[in-house]
Amino acid sequence: MAVPVPVAYITHYPELYGANRSLLDLMLELRDRGAVRPHVLLPREGDLVQALQREDIAHAVVPFRPWMSERHYSGRLHHRIRQYWQQERQARERAAANRAILPALVERVRGWQVQLLHANSAVVGVAPALKAATGLPLVWHIREMPERQYLLHLDAGTRAYGRALRRADRIIAISQAVREDILRYTGPGAKVTVVYNGVLRAARYAELARDLGARWSATVPFTFLQVGLIHPSKGQVEAVEALALLRRQGHPVRLVIVGDGRDSALRQRIAELGVDDVVDLKGFVKDPFPLFRGAHALLMCSRNEAMGRVTVEGMACGLPVVGHASGGTLELVNDGVNGLLYPGGAEALAERMARLVTDGGLARRLGSEAARNAAGRFSVERYADEVHDVYRAVLSDAR
């Protein structure tokens, strides 16, 4: 029997949001197969630490810092110049903090006798330095398009980011859209493998498939669901504007928005449009599946979404998806087959939403195909197989 490979997973935050949920699924599946002995480095305490403790996975909290940041400017020119230099200073301070913390990371990795490093996000800027200091092979799992998707600033610059990515022994991209974004920085020679996230285990897909028809017994009001971080790039304001258009047309609809984040502009727009009575802001919800079961369609309005774990979760529950025609959403939603795609803004979105509201048969057919498609493409078992293949190739090359 093969000996499990000790792997150090490095994640950039401690909450159990999408990237860490995918990471936890991967580690547990590979550990339970006897393929990997996981260890986790993370920058602070949080829900992930509690999950690791429950699963008896070795971990260490070491306060390394991100090498990307959100930058905001306001006021007059001299205010903006001052803000720029303050943010540049903060970036230098983060880089200095990472240099200072590197020996502690090296010590922990060597103490675990790790054979492979796995960085879980583009934001983990300590990964190249840790690889250089330990001589260990690095698999860099890129789960986002940092500039396009989250409007992040690359503190070290685009060239340094590209050089760092090229130093990885293998890059995993979670979609073709992410792969293309990576190649913008690295050039064509980077070793990039596309591995779509595994979202649920095969048994869970089968369980959900048994309950697909219940929602269609009552479709008034027709309920749209939007799940994810509240952020300007995620399109919650656009969804509210589209809902207001449907209401003015006389359609009995409501919108449930799940997630936390920057919600002041969203709340203001809801009040301006007078749709407080049909928009329900749930905040962060640990288990969204009861809300999936209570909805009739899922909205994915994010621009340049890397892949969309929540898109697959909604599909698995039999929800047709109305998605923006950009980024990784184009790889998940086949227009007219398992959902509807829209270009542009609120008017185009409202038109697709109205199709589902007025044609229950279409909505049901799209939802059934969405569930079948999700189960066939996005299982945790398939995901773990493909990541394990990457590990074996990298370790073979290293030997």
- Tell me how many domains the chain contains: 2
Same domain, 104 and 48: yes
399 in a structural domain: no
Range of the domain at 251: 202-377
CA distance 338 to 323: 11
Same domain, 308 and 384: no
Whether 313 contacts 292, CB under 8 Å: yes
Q: What is the mean pLDDT of residues 300-304?
A: 92
Q: Is 329 helix (H, G, I), strand (E, B) or coil?
A: helix
Same domain, 91 and 110: yes
Q: What is the pLDDT of residues 238-257, one digit of tens each?
A: 999 999 999 999 999 999 99
Q: Alpha helix (H) ranges present in the chain?
A: 18-32, 47-54, 77-111, 127-134, 146-150, 158-167, 176-186, 202-209, 236-248, 264-273, 289-294, 309-316, 329-332, 346-358, 360-377, 380-398
Same domain, 385 and 356: no
Same domain, 211 and 177: no
Same domain, 216 and 303: yes
Q: What is the CATH number of the domain that holds 297?
A: 3.40.50.2000
CA distance 87 to 154: 12
Q: Decide if pLDDT at 280 tops 90.
A: yes
Same domain, 133 and 217: no
387 in a structural domain: yes
Element (H, E) at 334: none
Rg (the chain; Cα; Å): 22
Same domain, 104 and 161: yes
Same domain, 23 and 55: yes
210 in a structural domain: yes
Same domain, 66 and 116: yes
Q: Which two tokens stand for residue 275?
A: 């749709």
Is it true that the peptide bond before 221 is cis, omega within 30 degrees of 0? yes
Q: Is 228 helix (H, G, I), strand (E, B) or coil?
A: coil
User: Measuring CA to CA, how many Å separate 340 from each of 297, 351, 395, 396?
Assistant: 10, 10, 42, 43
pTM of the model: 0.92
294 in a structural domain: yes
Q: What is the pLDDT of residues 2-26, one digit of tens each?
A: 799 999 999 999 998 889 999 999 9
Residue with the larger pLDDT of the pair 129 and 2: 129
112 in a structural domain: yes
Q: What is the dihedral of CA 174, 205, 255, 19, to 10 degrees?
A: -30
Whether 28 contacts 4, CB under 8 Å: no
Q: What is the pLDDT of residues 337-392, one digit of tens each?
A: 999 999 989 999 999 999 999 999 999 999 999 999 999 999 999 999 999 999 99
Q: What is the pLDDT of residues 189-218, one digit of tens each?
A: 899 999 999 999 999 999 999 988 889 999
Q: Which two tokens stand for residue 218?
A: 């009552």
Same domain, 188 and 277: no
Nearest in space to 182 (alpha carbons), one of 158, 215, 200: 158
User: Measuring CA to CA, how many Å separate 186 from each of 69, 147, 160, 207, 346?
Assistant: 20, 15, 10, 42, 35
Same domain, 37 and 181: yes
